[in-house]
Amino acid sequence: MNHSAGMFAEERRIRILERLKREQKITVVELCDAFGVSSATIRTDLRELQRRGLLVRTHGGAIEKTKTGFELDSENKRVRHLAEKQRIAEAALDLVEDGDTLLVDTGTTTLELAKRLSARRDLTIVTNDIEIARILEEIESAKILFMGGMLRRRFHCTVGLQGRDMLAGVMVDKAFMGANSVSVRDGAGTPDISQAETKKSMIAISNKVVILCDHSKIGQVSFARFATLEQIDTIVTDRIERPDKDLFEESGVEVIVAP
């Protein structure tokens, strides 16, 4: 029997998604051979992954569903919806006061916010994003705390236990978080599990959690959730359908639409 048989179900499901991303199409028979488990186990895995919206089951296997498991790298993200991201950043700046302690998460919309933080004085800012840290370094009155850890290549940020351990004992007034998806049912998510774990530790030390996301992220679902709706205080976006806005607000989340 394959040594993979003893792995946890969640780990096996991640491997299944990785294989699907490479091959676009997989069969139950291939997966049974690869992981040394029964067809019933693989079918349970595929059912669960389809329930999360991460693949499409077919007769005898599954095919790729790219929108939830796929993530553009930072360079490609930066040019998508740039004008909207700039408007969101302008609106988010209104939430920052002189003397605040902030956490600025990695992301292209949070990067736009970082470019505007020189308008405030005496900030203390925690970040795990190399590009954001480089911009913040220019603000003379700001204290910058950079989270260590494993570099996530092409995403210009760190993830891992080292950075999460560094946050122990720290508290910030406001966390400005990026997200690949935000929905009333599933909260905020990202395709990457290590990224999600880092984001969870950021939220744990924050008095107020603000999600910055353009309209294309609303109503989407990602593989790894990092915040439930109850953990989100505010969403800043460029536009949102009225029914979605009402649902978020009924759940206690403030929605700010950038002018």
Q: Report d(CA 170, CA 19) in Å as an integer.
A: 39
pLDDT band at 135 (very low <50, low <70, confident <90, very high): very high
140/184 same-domain check = yes
Give pLDDT tens digits for 199-242.
Answer: 999 999 999 999 999 998 998 888 899 999 999 999 999 999 99
pTM: 0.71
Last residue of one domain, picked from the residues 69, 92, 111: 69
> Same domain, yes or no, for 98 and 191?
yes
**Structure token pair of residue 204:** 């744990």
Within 10 A of 63 (CB to CB), how many other CB atoms are there?
Answer: 13
Please report the pLDDT score of residue 153 as a whole number: 80
Total tally of structural domains belonging to the chain:
2
Distance CA 100, CA 119 (A): 12
- Please tell me whether residues 235 and 152 are part of one structural domain: yes
Same domain, 114 and 164: yes
Both 125 and 41 in one domain: the answer is: no
Strand duo 234-237 + 124-127: pairing: unpaired
Among 69, 89, 105, where does a domain finish?
69
Q: Are residues 42 and 106 in the same domain?
A: no
Report yes or no: 216 and 180 within 8 Å, Cβ to Cβ: no
Give the residue numbers spanning the domain of 247.
Answer: 74-257
Average of pLDDT values for 19-36? 89
pLDDT over 50 at 73, yes or no: no
Q: What is the DSSP letter of 218?
A: B
50 and 87 share one domain:
no
Q: Note the pLDDT of residue 226.
A: 97
pLDDT at 9: 85
Do residues 147 and 117 share a domain? yes
The percent of residues above 90 in pLDDT, for the chain, comes to: 68
| 78/64 same-domain check | no
**With contact defined as beta carbons under 8 Å apart, do 71 and 97 qualify?**
no
52/120 same-domain check: no
CATH of the domain at 10: 1.10.10.10
DSSP 115: T
The CATH number of residue 143's host domain is 3.40.50.1360
The CA distance from 64 to 247, in Å, is 30
In this structure, are residues 227 and 184 in contact, taking their beta carbons and an 8 Å threshold? no
Q: What is the pLDDT of residue 146?
A: 96
Last residue of a domain, one of 69, 91, 126: 69
Tell me how far CA of residue 116 lies from CA of 75, 89, 93, 127, 234, in angstroms.
20, 8, 7, 15, 19
pLDDT of residue 4: 46
- Tell me: do 78 and 62 sit in the same domain: no
pLDDT reported for residue 172: 98
Q: Which residue has the higher pLDDT, 65 or 38?
A: 38
Q: Is residue 53 located within the same domain as residue 141?
A: no
Cα-only R_g, the chain: 20
